[in-house]
A and B are shown apart, each in its own frame.
Chain A
């Protein structure tokens, strides 16, 4: 078990004129036994960050500590970590058993201990009957479990997950999410989990790092990130549908951006803001009302059973008390 410490991590590609900095100084302290999710849109540098922790990418500047060791110059195998890849990266010519045992065999572990560890991991992941199969004979979900099994048998200090659920269908993804949570509870191994899916991030994370364009926008619990987004980017990225960010709403202050989540806008009889209704979407238990407030688009979320506004009419909405966020218009930071 170990904590992870990222100290001013910078990643640059290329040299001289072609130099391109993709990660601009990330600082984060991940506690021992913590499950931290790194989330952000594609191209934000989240995978690169994870790969630097794994040792698959060189660190241009800064330090990474795992436990009491600085790992900058250690080979991936020496960092006492295990990684689950997006496409699982199972060895196609080896059986499930051999796939899981390979790393231990290289460590020259005695055969009976390898057997015991693999059997134990197979038991946890319900892979027992599949041990003699080849990866190609497995379904996507089974392959995913083998990839996790390969990580578990090493009994590492840190688990790294690189979008491990993105190749699964929606139902399996939800199921695997729960399994990963259960696994983390049982094993208590510090985990870093990269995803672009904010639902995955919200449900899995004990704390989450929200990244954008190579910089860390916020590092906090899902509640903090949802309730007190640090920047307009976090506000619009976390939560679905995204937060309404308005500059010209009634009551707006100069040089600020006002943020209200769709679920924190209520339809009122009169007063509030006049909203020109454009379309309505039914999502089962709730309904999304898309409308226009002046020139800006506003989304309102209403509960099942509430009256359905007719497109073209004007309704009145009011933000709930204490649920309005303010951001600086220039720095995009929370005020």
Chain B
């Protein structure tokens, strides 16, 4: 819609600016709090300009963690989170792209049944099946391991479904042309389908990385050793007892740190992400 009405422009900008302030203010407060000492945070009112303890607080959490709550260094937690997010994102993409390849391009008995079985699991998020999953993982001795942290979250109906829809839009003639060229199914998959799916993969990677990074309930259940905490769990474990006992400046610094990787992924992959959701390059 192309319009030139100054009042409308002014009004819409005003609303957008208010919106940004509402969203950004808590982030700003978090940042400010992460540069103060605990006494300053607990004083009323809390100062709203950055303090002088930026380096102290960040160096403290990165290297040593909090002194009263979880004592694991946040650096270690960030690494755990990164492993979890990456393994989940790549695992989900790898498994679901192969699953949808099978469903779309091969005729086998019970093909539709399998597709619907995968589809139905869309309705069963982690939280619903968490107790049996926990039992299985613990019986397999995978508590406090990366495998236990990631494996149960890798299967993904959403991604399978997304790739299936994408494959259905790839013209059949392409598969036939590859067959005439003598490319077997896997060759076709790697040489033709995979490159064509690049943008979809990028979009899914962004979504799944954030999904993996932000996992809360599952890591909370299966990690009991501090060395296996993820950043999100680390924050939770730093909050101990009453208000005065928690080192809020360290919690806030950790929260800021925990926000950086997903934000980076989104910012750096934004172009690909949008392309993957919008573009159909065929």
**Chain A residues at the B interface, C-beta cutoff of 8 Å:** 54-56, 75-78, 81-83, 85-93, 102-103, 106-107, 136, 150
B196 pairs with A103, CB closer than 8 A: no
* A103-B187 Cα distance, complex, nearest whole Å: 11
A89 pairs with B179, CB closer than 8 A: no
B272 to chain A, nearest CB (A): 15
A103 partner, pick from B171, B173, B174, B181, beta carbons under 8 A: B181
B282 pairs with A102, CB closer than 8 A: no
B124 to chain A, nearest CB (A): 36
A89 pairs with B187, CB closer than 8 A: no
B196 pairs with A92, CB closer than 8 A: yes
A75 pairs with B174, CB closer than 8 A: no
* Closest residue of A by beta carbon distance from B181: A103
A91 partner, pick from B176, B187, B192, beta carbons under 8 A: B192
* A189-B281 Cα distance, complex, nearest whole Å: 34
B23 at the interface (CB under 8 A from A): no
Residues of A within 8 A of B180 (CB): 54, 56, 76-77, 81-83, 103
Residues of A within 8 A of B181 (CB): 77, 102-103, 106
Residues of B within 8 A of A103 (CB): 180-182
* A1-B183 Cα distance, complex, nearest whole Å: 23
Residues of B within 8 A of A107 (CB): 182
Can you list 5 A-B pairs, Cβ within 8 angstroms, ordered by A? A76-B179, A86-B173, A93-B281, A103-B180, A150-B177
**Chain B residues at the A interface, C-beta cutoff of 8 Å:** 171, 173-174, 176-183, 187, 191-192, 195-196, 198, 281-282
B171 pairs with A106, CB closer than 8 A: no
* A78-B183 Cα distance, complex, nearest whole Å: 11
* A54-B176 Cα distance, complex, nearest whole Å: 10
B182 pairs with A77, CB closer than 8 A: yes
A85 pairs with B176, CB closer than 8 A: yes
A106 pairs with B182, CB closer than 8 A: yes
* Closest residue of B by beta carbon distance from A92: B282
Residues of B within 8 A of A92 (CB): 196, 281-282
Q: What are the 10 A-B residue pairs with the smallest beta carbon separation, nearest first? A: A77-B182, A103-B181, A89-B173, A89-B177, A93-B195, A106-B182, A85-B173, A76-B180, A76-B179, A56-B176
* A330-B56 Cα distance, complex, nearest whole Å: 101
Chain B binding surface, main DSSP class: helix
A106 pairs with B177, CB closer than 8 A: no
* A214-B104 Cα distance, complex, nearest whole Å: 29
* Closest residue of B by beta carbon distance from A134: B281
Residues of B within 8 A of A136 (CB): 281
* A90-B177 Cα distance, complex, nearest whole Å: 8
Residues of B within 8 A of A91 (CB): 174, 177-178, 191-192
Residues of B within 8 A of A54 (CB): 180
A87 pairs with B171, CB closer than 8 A: yes
A103 to chain B, nearest CB (A): 4
B181 to chain A, nearest CB (A): 4
* A83-B198 Cα distance, complex, nearest whole Å: 28
A89 partner, pick from B176, B183, B191, B195, beta carbons under 8 A: B176
* A107-B184 Cα distance, complex, nearest whole Å: 12
* Closest residue of A by beta carbon distance from B179: A76
* Closest residue of B by beta carbon distance from A85: B173
* Closest residue of B by beta carbon distance from A86: B173
Residues of A within 8 A of B178 (CB): 91
Residues of B within 8 A of A83 (CB): 176-177, 180
Residues of B within 8 A of A55 (CB): 179
B195 to chain A, nearest CB (A): 4
Residues of A within 8 A of B173 (CB): 85-89
Residues of B within 8 A of A86 (CB): 173
Residues of A within 8 A of B187 (CB): 106
A284 to chain B, nearest CB (A): 38
A75 pairs with B179, CB closer than 8 A: yes
* Closest residue of B by beta carbon distance from A87: B173
B191 pairs with A102, CB closer than 8 A: yes
B179 partner, pick from A77, A88, A150, beta carbons under 8 A: A77
* Closest residue of B by beta carbon distance from A102: B181
Residues of B within 8 A of A93 (CB): 192, 195-196, 198, 281
Given A85-B173, A91-B192, A92-B282, 13 additional A-B pairs, CB 8 A: A56-B180, A75-B179, A76-B180, A77-B179, A77-B183, A85-B176, A86-B173, A87-B171, A89-B171, A91-B174, A93-B198, A107-B182, A150-B177
Residues of B within 8 A of A56 (CB): 176, 179-180
Residues of B within 8 A of A77 (CB): 179-183
* Closest residue of A by beta carbon distance from B173: A89
Residues of A within 8 A of B176 (CB): 56, 76, 83, 85, 89
